[in-house]
Structure 1
Amino acid sequence: MKIKAGLERIPGGMMVVPLLLAATLNTFAPNLLRIGNFTEALFVNGASTLIALFLLCTGAQINLKSFGVSLGKGATLLATKWIVGAAVGLIAYMFAGSDGLWLGLAPIAVIAAMTNSNGGLFVALVGQYGSKEDRAAYSLLALNDGPFLTMVALSIFGAMGFVNGMFSVQSFIAVLLPILVGMVLGNLDEDMRTFLDNGSAMLIPFFAFALGMGIDFGAIVEGGLTGILLGVLTVFVTGTAGYFLFKALGWNPIVGAAEGSTAGNAVATPAAIAAANASFAAYAELATVQVAASTVTTAILLPLYVAFLVKRLEKKGYQFKQGNITKVSG
């Protein structure tokens, strides 16, 4: 039975299939794998640990001579995601109706969903279609976790001032450390770099499954069509912006598109903002369910959109091989 070959025939299959399988299982039989011990630790709660190990393996492939490229790509991704998300949020505020909503969306939900990104999803997609330097760009993307960048946008719009304690330096370092450990090991010993390189691809389907066990399709129902709309906007607006910017800079455009998602931790952002400024309290509950629906929608839609973009590039004569994109024909 050719399981691996079958998965590889599906664009992004090593990530998409395990994620959707787990999401379906979590929606209809959520307690099936929540039986404790090794089973639950691996298949349900293992996403963070497996992603950390993936980042360590990825860090080992970083040559210090090329690390500046990774930082440049990470900064570009971070800035693009925030600028585009904040711009759409500003449009939402400018054209909101008398009920304070734009297309049924709470503007705070728009900013929270579109300026934040799912790091696990990014790592999985770039792990399949990106280079070692592309994967290392994740080291900067931890900055868009949580409500900090949402608050920056709101502050600029004059909606509220800065509030202390919304960004944790410790959390950022905690994300960065596995990459740094891997980078030290790989630069000290070429054999360690080769040894750890084998772990990168192998880990993708396992942490994709664990990510899927955190997705409940019921969130789409609860968030309604407006939450789905928010997810669609996040994928096609921020993802497409990243795609074309990376293409213009001569980088792998798929890496730019891979940022077009909403992270699960963004669900807590509206409540955090409302706690800091009571003027947002009236919209916090609606915004929370809309962001939750966007999280699920982008987790399903973004891999499919990336697969479409990959096929489009392949038809134009590009090929993806060993993490690099090259043009092989006219």
Structure 2
Amino acid sequence: MKIKATLDRIPGGMMVVPLLLAATINTFFPNILRIGGFTEALFVDSSSALISLFLLIAGTQITFKTAGTSVKKGLTLLAFKWGIGAVIGLIAIMLADSNGLFLGLAPIAIVAAMTNSNGGLYIAFAGQYGKEDDKAAYPFLALSDGPFLTMVALAIFGTMGYAEGMFSPTDFIAVLLPLAVGIAIGNLDKEMGDFLYKGSDKLVPFFAFSLGMSINFTAIIKGGLSGVLLGVITVLITGGVGYLLFKWIGWNPIVGASEGSTAGNAVGTPMAIAAANASFMPVAELATVQVAASVVTTAILLPIFIGILAKRLEKKTGKPIKEINPTM
């Protein structure tokens, strides 16, 4: 049985198939792997540890001379992702109906879903299609975790003020540290860096499966068509703009498109916003299920979207993605 060959034929197969398989298990048999011990530790709870290890290994291939590129890419990803979500959220606020909704969507759901990306998906795509400086851009995306940047956008719109405790510098350092350790190891001992790097690709299907164990397809039903629409918009607009922006700059456009997702932790953002400003409470519950639907929808659609874009680029150039000059 040629499992690897089959996965290789599917765009992003090493990430997509384990993730969707786990999501299916979690939807219909949520407790089958939650039995404690090594089983639950590996198949359910391992994503954070494995992604951290993946970042450390990626860091071993970054030299102090090339680290600046990772910073530029990370800040560019963060800026355009937040900017798009903020602008569309502002448009939704301006065009909202008497119920405070735009196309059935709560504006805070739009901002929350579109400004916060799934880091695990980004790492998986950057690992398959990108280079080490693309992977090393990830820690800067952690700045978008939680409700902080959503609140910044709303504050700019004049609808609410800033709130304390929505962003912790310690959280950012905690994400950055594994990468920094990897950079130190790679620069101190190239042989050690090369030794660690040999195992990096093998981590992808395992942390993808663990990510899938946090996805429940019933969120799509609860969020309704409006939640699915939010997920589709997030993939097409933020993923599409990321693709075009990175292509224009001269970076790998597939990496830019990899930001077209909604992170699972964005589900808690509407309630956090409502806790800080009670005026959002009437739509907070609706916004929560819409964001949850977007999380699942983007997890399904983004790999398909990335696969289509990757095939187009490879067909056009006749080269693997990692060898393609995006400006061609």
Partner in structure 2 of residue 142 of structure 1: 142
Q: What does the per-residue CA deviation read over 1:99-148, in whole Å, with 9 as the maximum and x for residues that have no partner?
A: 10000000000000001100011001111000011111112111010111
SS of aligned partner of 1:281: helix
What secondary structure, in the 3-state scheme, does the structure 2 residue paired with 1:100 have? coil
Q: Distance in 2 between matches of 1:318 and 1:156?
A: 46
Residue aligning to 1:114: 114
Amino acid at match of 2:324: I
Which residues of structure 1 form unaligned runs of 5+? none
The residue type paired with residue 117 of structure 1 is S
1:16-67: CA deviation from partner (whole Å, max 9, x where unpaired): 0000010011111111111110000000111111111111111111111100
Hey, what's the Cα distance between the residues in 2 that align with 1:32 and 1:209? 14
Q: What letter corresponds to residue 208 of structure 1 in structure 2?
A: A
For residue 212 of structure 2, what is the aligned residue in structure 1? Answer: 212
Instruction: Give, in whole Å, the separation in 1 of the partners of 2:12 and 2:70.
Output: 23
Determine if contact 1:318/1:326 at 8 Å carries over to the other structure: no
Q: Look up the equivalent residue of 1:220 and give its one-letter code.
A: I
Give the counterpart letter for 1:230 in structure 2: L
2-structure distance, mates of 1:31, 1:45? 13
3-state SS of the aligned residue for 2:65? Answer: helix
Q: Is the 8 A contact 1:155 1:162 kept in 2?
A: yes
Residue aligning to 1:325: 324
State the 1:318 CA deviation: 4.8
- Cα contact 1:85–1:115 (8 A) shared by 2: yes
Please say if 1:128 is aligned against 2:128: yes
Checking the alignment, whether the CA contact within 8 Å between 2:250 and 2:325 is kept in structure 1 is no
Structure 1 residue 80 displacement after superposition:
0.5
Match of 1:277 in 2: 277
- Deviating runs (4+, > 2 A) in structure 1? 318-321, 323-327
Q: Does structure 1 conserve the Cα–Cα contact (< 8 Å) formed by 2:54 and 2:203?
A: yes
> Any residues of structure 2 matched to 1:26-45 within 5 Å, and which?
26-45=26-45
Q: Distance in 2 between matches of 1:288 and 1:320?
A: 40
**2:154 counterpart residue number:** 154
Q: Name the SS of the counterpart of 1:65 in structure 2.
A: coil
2:231–2:294 Cα contact (<8 Å) kept: yes
User: Who is 2:232 aligned against?
Assistant: 232
Change (3 A) 1:5 1:326: farther
Where 2:319 maps in the other structure, the secondary structure is strand
CA distance in 2 between partners of 1:176 and 1:2 (Å): 38
**Contact 1:54 1:199 (C-alpha < 8 Å) held by counterparts:** no
Superposed CA RMSD? 1.3
Letter in 1 for 2:301: L
What one-letter code is carried by the residue in structure 2 that aligns with 1:50?
A: L
CA distance in 1, matches of 2:153, 2:319: 38
Which amino acid in structure 2 is aligned with residue 29 of structure 1?
F
CA contact (8 A) 1:220 1:296 kept: yes
User: Which residue of structure 1 lines up, in the alignment, with residue 197 of structure 2?
Assistant: 197
Inter-partner Cα distance in structure 2 for 1:280 and 1:199: 47
Q: Tell me by how many angstroms 1:2 deviates.
A: 1.7
Question: What count of residue pairs does the alignment treat as equivalent?
Answer: 328
CA contact (8 A) 1:267 1:292 kept: yes
**Aligned ranges 1:1-330 → 2 under 5 Å:** 1-320=1-320, 323-326=322-325
- Partner SS state of residue 25, structure 1: helix
* CA apart distance, 1:326: 4.0
Give the CA deviation at 1:5. Answer: 1.4
Letter in 2 for 1:3: I
